[in-house]
Amino acid sequence: MKESILEKAMELYLKLGFKGVTLDDIAQEMSISKKTIYQHFSNRNELIEAVAKTIMEEIKCDIDTLSQGQMDPMEEMFAIRRYLRKTLEGKFQLPIYQLNKFFPEIAQKLKRDQFGKMYESVIDNLKRGIALELYRDDLNLEFVIRIYFAGITGTKDTDLFPEDQFNIHSVTNLYLEYHLRAICTQKGVTLLEKHLKETE
């Protein structure tokens, strides 16, 4: 039953957003009592957090699929960026926006989890880039991964980048270029320029 509640909640949240769906709505859709939901989730926030974690896990699995070493490390970063752009413009756009706006404590907790989940794939990308002489070999990897994560999450801050002044996708593309130019060798910059032309 818990899994069924989670699935129905996700279906409704993806369609209407976290803010627009109550536990009563979920119970009514499933023809169960709200008490049944409380047997598995102590409150609405716990259910929202469970759904949000499921969404993040789906995104992580898709990114892991892209990070299989089939592309050069730089191409991989552009592919992940394209995937995230498509995803955040698609079915996850409304719930993620509302999560950050109306449930900041849950969003902050998930942000910490997100860093842990992306750590290995980014470290792997950096190490492969260094081995291929695309990234500088004097990089402090622990610093770079954290500054990269801070930048990627920071570009979504609408206080720093007001929507009437900045297009979020342009900002994240600019940040990715900024990040890569900072860590690339001359060989890497040449490849970066090629990728930039292909993504214009």
3-state SS, residue 184 = strand
Instruction: Enter the tokens of residue 33.
Output: 């009592």
- Structural domains in the chain, sorted by start: 52-199 (1.10.357.10)
Residue 134, both tokens: 């695309």
135 DSSP β-pair partners: 184
- pLDDT tens for 120-164 read 889 999 999 999 999 999 999 999 999 999 998 888 788 888 889
Residue pLDDT, tens place only, 17-60: 898 899 999 999 999 999 999 999 999 999 999 999 998 888 88
**Is there a contact between 82 and 195 (Cβ–Cβ < 8 Å)?**
no
In this structure, are residues 51 and 6 in contact, taking their beta carbons and an 8 Å threshold?
yes
pTM of the model: 0.80
